[in-house]
Amino acid sequence: MNLLPLVGARQSLFPRPCWPAIFTKAWGRVAETREELRQLYMSRPFPRLYEHSTSVAAVVIERTMEREHGLFLAKLTNPGARSIREIDRWLRHCKSAPLNAIRDFRHAIRLARWPWFLRRFLWSWTMRWRPSLRAKQVGTFGISVTAGLGAATLAVRSPWTSCLHYGVIDSGGFLPVRLTFDHRVLDGATAARALVDLEAVLLGEVLDELRGLAQPAAA
């Protein structure tokens, strides 16, 4: 994607909203108009697709716990309806606040202390039987990014119908954007159209929102 106008609008702001916040908002907007992105494949009690009325974003965040790096899911309901500033503040809080101060992280730590067989049972129950619990625990779509470390992943193993990830933006404003998806729910053509929609949202209403944030500062 050529996101040069978006790069310029972001650079004019202080503080600058992080890229994951921008993409979380934009993919949430795409999911509002494409019901396939709100669908989950459930295998029990019979194979079926379940559609949520609202998206739940799950952003993968690396935090340090007991001197080791660990991955946590920060979840946000209906990200497409929220402002970029709100999402950015939420992500910064999840990256810097004490782990026990964040409900999702506190819950994950507590579950990690359960015996392995109970964790496996809960995972199976959540992922195969209870779509509402699945959305609550892991979200309906994921954002997993390593671009801040100067690298990019080509594919992601994930529990989501769609997982958005992207590389490092170059000096010309070009950014490789990738989508890993569950082929039981989406086909390649639908995924491609969703990415085209994402680019349109980024260079449309998201760009307009960022430019609107810059106007008070200029005044």
pLDDT tens for the chain, 219 residues long, are 999 999 999 999 999 999 999 999 999 999 999 999 999 999 999 999 999 999 999 999 999 998 999 999 999 999 999 999 999 999 999 999 999 999 999 999 999 999 999 999 999 999 999 999 999 999 999 999 998 888 888 888 889 999 999 999 999 999 999 999 999 999 999 999 999 999 999 999 999 999 999 875 444
Residue 100 tokens, joined: 């026990």
pTM here is 0.93
Beta bridge partners of 162: 141, 181
Give ∠ CA 197-200-202 in degrees, rounded to 5: 110
Q: At what angle do helices 207-218 and 84-96 cross, to 10 degrees?
A: 90
Q: In sequence order, which residues have a C-beta less than 8 Å from that of residue 99 and are 6 or more positions away? A: 63, 65, 72, 105, 106, 109
Domains of the chain plus CATH, in order, are: 4-212 (3.30.559.10)
> Looking at residue 97, what is its pLDDT?
97
> Looking at residue 216, what is its pLDDT?
53
Q: How far apart are CA 127 and CA 111, in angstroms?
A: 15
> Looking at residue 3, what is its pLDDT?
96
